[in-house]
Chains A and B, each alone.
Chain A
Amino acid sequence: DQQVKQNSPSLSVQEGRISILNCDYTNSMFDYFLWYKKYPAEGPTFLISISSIKDKNEDGRFTVFLNKSAKHLSLHIVPSQPGDSAVYFCAASAKYNFNKFYFGSGTKLNVKP
């Protein structure tokens, strides 16, 4: 039972344009959401997070949007750079079971120069 889904396995974007990565979840108890970036043969690195009390969080080129009614979050990268090419995972957790993180299957972003 996959509670967090990333339906796009891959995304290709031109350098300088916007990258939009999407994530859907099913559990309405999730109250904390995160995005991680992962390069091959390395561990995931934290990008940005959002609490369910907010609908937007911004950090430099990265913005995460949360739509609780649709159980959907998205990561916007503007402008995209070739160094952003990596696999992006979204994750969710709930305070009542905070040790359990649910990860999506990942979206591989390719930013073309």
Chain B
Amino acid sequence: DVKVTQSSRYLVKRTGEKVFLECVQDMDHENMFWYRQDPGLGLRLIYFSYDVKMKEKGDIPEGYSVSREKKERFSLILESASTNQTSMYLCASLRQANEKLFFGSGTQLSVL
């Protein structure tokens, strides 16, 4: 089965820090995604990428950027972390239309 690996399970950062969240998938999927999950709000899309160096904004891109230099790796960057970015961050990958998203185990980020 597809493995999507997120580099950290838990992170604690200070307000104003630059934060990098890393995600790697091992199944050569074209499409990768970053979501955040907050209680009662479901999963909200931050950014996705459909190819190397290609990216598109999701529903809540403000305060975030992404990087996809290699097909298997998709990074989420918080340029200047703020307390309202405390959340569970989920990376996912997708092969093609009408197939399932594969999720990583998530990174619980706390910004103090």
Contact = CB atoms under 8 A, between A and B. Distances in A.
A44 B90 contact: yes
A106 to B, nearest CB: 6
Contacts of A62: none
Contacts of A101: 43, 45, 101
B103 interface: yes
B98 A98 contact: yes
Given A41-B108, A99-B31, A105-B41, A34 B97 contact: no
Interface residues of A, number: 27
Interface of A: 6, 9, 31-32, 34, 36, 38, 41-46, 49, 51, 89, 91, 93, 95, 98-101, 103-106
Interface of B: 4, 6, 9, 31, 33, 37, 40-45, 48, 50, 56, 88, 90, 94, 96-98, 100-106, 108
A43 B59 CA distance: 20
Contacts of B108: 41
Given A41-B9, A44-B90, A98 B45 contact: no
18 contacts: A32-B97, A32-B98, A34-B101, A42-B106, A43-B4, A43-B6, A43-B103, A44-B43, A44-B90, A95-B97, A98-B94, A98-B97, A98-B98, A99-B94, A101-B45, A103-B43, A105-B42, A106-B42
